[in-house]
Structure 1
Amino acid sequence: MTGDPLTADPPRNGGTGRADDSVALRMSLDDPERFGEIFDAYFPEIHGYAARRLGPDAASDIASQTFLEAFRGRRRYDPSRAGVRTWLYGIATNVIGKHRRSEVRGLRARARLEPVRDTAGHADRVDARVSAEGLRGRLAGAIAGLPAGDRDVLLLVALADLSHKEVAAALDIPYGTVGSRLSRARRKVREALGGTNPMHEMEKDHG
């Protein structure tokens, strides 16, 4: 992978990003049942990510395919490059990438829905709005208009709370590319939402 190495994931909700994930994954090479520990720890989170991107109807298939590909490719996992959680998000994003047209159609359909919140003064930081409001209303329409790579980076930051280094590892892209894609995505979304104010400290880096 390209970018700075990651030796472990930070702690996440429900104790995910565990230090022993890479051990369980390595042990699963000889004892496939150990992979169940990875599945149990991360399936709900990956399912939720898929649901927020493609909707609940597709989420189970996306999450199942993600873990099937992870199981089949577990021998290629390199713990010096990324934590298991980050690696799984990379696989999930690649699986979602096979459904680009469906995602864009779904976002455009959700653009016609009223946003959960669309009040003045709500967090100007784009990824905070995505996380808090969900992909609907004008926000969904703006995200539908992003190039696929920019959308992936923005949504991994906003929905998965990955750092710049983690996104670089998950997508196998240079660290600097993450920053440029994220900056471009935030700018385009802000413009599509009416040019809500700019950055200041609220546009702080995740990296």
Structure 2
Amino acid sequence: MRTLTNTEADGQPPLGRDRPDLSGPDPGLVFEWLFDTHAAALRHYLVRRIGETAADDIVSETFLVALHQRHRYDPARAAVRSWLYGIATNLMRRHLRDEVRHLKAHSAETPVDGHAGRVAERVDAQAAAQRLAGALADLSPGDRDVLLLISWAGLDTNEVAEALDIPAGTVRSRLHRVRKQLRKGGEA
């Protein structure tokens, strides 16, 4: 693999910036850099949302869509990281019905296996995970996307706003509402 430098002979802007020129003469080189830079974090976020198999598919599809739609990327509007998370989130929404079904299934009571040596902490952790899965499943898709892009992907409110193409104020109000809802659910 070729090592990229901060300046290219063809006059392209430095590739190390968060807003690279995707319309250059060698999109393969730029997208190799984008993949090397962002794929692992994007996959990590998606695995937590929809599981490994679907995450791998969506990461691949995200970069394919980005390559085909590179002419639509506007560096003045969003950082490339936010743009990629936006594409991935939109692709993931196609899987939303399965995701909600998955979360609902995990929120249901699991039968006790009768094993006498079950550790109390594990039971407590499993119950907490079930409550959390149920609470996440009860959120609207938009609220769930905001919460998980911030908490699991590590995006800030401005990056989430760019990724979801909504105002930053909407992100903050959704996040406030979700946190309040989750706190209230935790008291029950």
- TM class by shorter chain equals 0.7 to 0.9
The Cα of 1:192 is off from its aligned counterpart by 2.0
Partner residue in 1 for 2:32: 36
The Cα of 1:184 is off from its aligned counterpart by 1.2
The Cα of 1:65 is off from its aligned counterpart by 1.2
The Cα of 1:176 is off from its aligned counterpart by 1.2
TM alignment of 1:1-207, pairs within 5 A: 19-23=16-20, 25-27=22-24, 30-34=25-29, 35-112=31-108, 136-194=129-187
State how many pairs are aligned.
162
- Where does the alignment leave 5 or more consecutive residues of structure 1 unmatched? 1-17, 120-132, 196-207
How many Å separate the matches in 2 of 1:95 and 1:140? 21
How many Å separate the matches in 2 of 1:98 and 1:37? 27
Counterpart amino acid of 1:33? G
Percent sequence identity over matched residues?
49
CA contact (8 A) 1:142 1:193 kept: no
Which has the higher Rg, Structure 1 or Structure 2?
A: 2
How many Å separate the matches in 2 of 1:175 and 1:21? 19
Scaled by the length of structure 1, the TM-score of the pair is 0.70
The Cα of 1:117 is off from its aligned counterpart by 9.8
Scaled by the length of structure 2, the TM-score of the pair is 0.76
The Cα of 1:86 is off from its aligned counterpart by 1.2
How many Å separate the matches in 2 of 1:90 and 1:20? 19
The Cα of 1:38 is off from its aligned counterpart by 0.5
Distance 1:60 1:176, change over 3 A: same
Higher relative contact order (CA 8 A, sep 6+): 1
How many Å separate the matches in 2 of 1:93 and 1:190? 25
Deviation string for 1:42-74 (max 9, x for gaps)?
111111111100111211111111111111111
CA contact (8 A) 2:43 2:56 kept: yes
- Where does the alignment leave 5 or more consecutive residues of structure 2 unmatched? 1-14, 111-119
Counterpart amino acid of 1:23? P
How many Å separate the matches in 2 of 1:65 and 1:101? 19
